[in-house]
Amino acid sequence: MLWPGKLINCLIKLLNFLNFKFMNEQKRFLLIEILVVVAVIGLIGTLAAVAVSSARSNSRDAVRLSNVRQMQSALEDHFVARNAYPVVSEVTALGFGSAGCLTINGFQATCDASTEGVLTRAVPATLGIGLDGLSSCGGAVNAYCYLANEDGSTYVIQFELEHAISLAELVKGLNCATPEGMKAGACKGF
């Protein structure tokens, strides 16, 4: 591995060689001009990398919100069919284990072609990249955690976001989805 000092010396020698060999005396670039151009290109590259990283993070949060809204819609369909939300015995990680799909009879591990009354064939699991592991349940970390009350009249889905979303009034970290909508902060009862 070249040390930074050696690398800079090699770069200076290369630039000097290029200046003397390939340019005549009147049109030769100064070493400082070339170094400034290289520094500007490096700065632009760094700014572009930061912008791409931020865009990816925002995209992951948009997918998380879309998944939660999709589950809210499927749960409302279940409520219309059964006049209750699916009741579970404990906090359940959506998209894992026994909550892999949703039918009019509640959550099931899987749904195949012969399963009747399928509302969501594949319950979405959360994208764990970029999260702090604040929302965990049923042995799953970074999960959409679902819980309904005993009579199935209401539910909560706890989920985590990488960034605050001011338009939706959601915060970085834990947020809660209910039949009434989404709100910032952890769900009560967890």
What the block records as the tokens of 36 is: 């400034």
- The strand ranges marked E within 54-154 are 92-94, 101-103, 106-108, 118-120, 144-148
Strands of the sheet with 155-161, listed across from one edge: 92-94, 144-148, 155-161, 173-178, 181-184
- The strand ranges marked E within 117-161 are 118-120, 144-148, 155-161
pTM over 0.85: no
Q: No. of H helices and E strands in the chain?
A: 2, 8
pLDDT in tens, the chain (190 residues): 446 666 677 667 766 766 655 444 555 667 788 888 888 998 998 888 888 888 888 999 999 999 999 999 999 999 999 999 999 989 999 998 889 999 999 999 998 888 889 998 889 888 888 899 999 898 889 999 999 999 999 999 999 999 999 989 999 999 999 999 999 999 987 6
The per-residue pLDDT for range 152-172, each reduced to its tens digit, is: 999 999 999 999 999 899 999
Tokens 């999709």 belong to 70
Rounded Cα gap, residues 86 and 67, in angstroms: 18
